[in-house]
Copies of this chain bind each other. A is one copy, B any other.
Amino acid sequence: MDKSKVDLIAENLITIHPLLYKSILKPMRTQNSITPGGMFVMGSLKRHGVLSMSDIGKCLSMPKPHVTGIVDRLIEVGYVERQNDPDDRRVINISMTDKGLTNFESIKKSASKTLKSKLLLLGDAELDTLTVASQQVREILLTILSKK
C-alpha cells in the first residue's frame, strides 16, 4: 500500500474543507432559516431514505440528544416526519416530506449561488477538469465515508 498517496489525499482534502465550509455552509446559514445540522440530517435522509434517530446519529457522528433537537425543528417546519417502526416499538423512523425534499433542493440551490458565480470565472479546460475531478472525489468518498 502506498502511504504517500494517502498522505497527499488527506492533505488535499484538509485544504479543500475550509474552502467549502466558507463557500457553502456560510451562505446556507445566512440566506435561509435552516441550520447546518438540519441540512446535514436532510442530506443523510436524501441519500439513505428512511433512517431511525440512532442511524442519523451514526451517519453524522452526532450524539442522540443533538439529533432529537434538530429533528424536532425539522418537524416544526414540516420538512420531515416521524413514523413508528412496526417491527420495534422503540424505534422512530424519520423520513422527508415532499415539502422537505422541495425545500432541500431550493436551499442547496440558493446556498451554491455564490459558489456558482465563482465557478463561472473558470475557463473551459478548468471547468471540464473540475467537473470530472469533483465527480470522482464525490463518488469515492461516498463509498468509504458514507456508511450508515
**Chain A residues with a Cβ under 8 A of chain B:** 1-2, 5-26, 39-40, 43, 60-61, 108, 111-112, 115-116, 118-122, 124, 126-138, 140-142, 144-146
Contact = CB atoms under 8 A, between A and B. Distances in A.
Given A21-B21, A24-B17, A6 B127 contact: yes
A138 B10 contact: no
B20 A43 contact: no
A21 B40 contact: yes
User: Dominant SS at the A interface?
Assistant: helix
Closest 10 CB pairs of A and B: A12-B134, A133-B133, A133-B136, A10-B112, A17-B20, A12-B138, A19-B145, A118-B144, A6-B119, A5-B131
Residue picked from A5, A6, A137, most chain B C-beta under 10 Å? A137
21 contacts: A5-B131, A6-B116, A6-B120, A8-B134, A12-B134, A12-B135, A13-B112, A13-B115, A14-B108, A15-B43, A18-B39, A18-B40, A18-B60, A23-B145, A26-B61, A115-B145, A118-B144, A132-B133, A133-B136, A133-B137, A133-B140
B2 A127 contact: yes
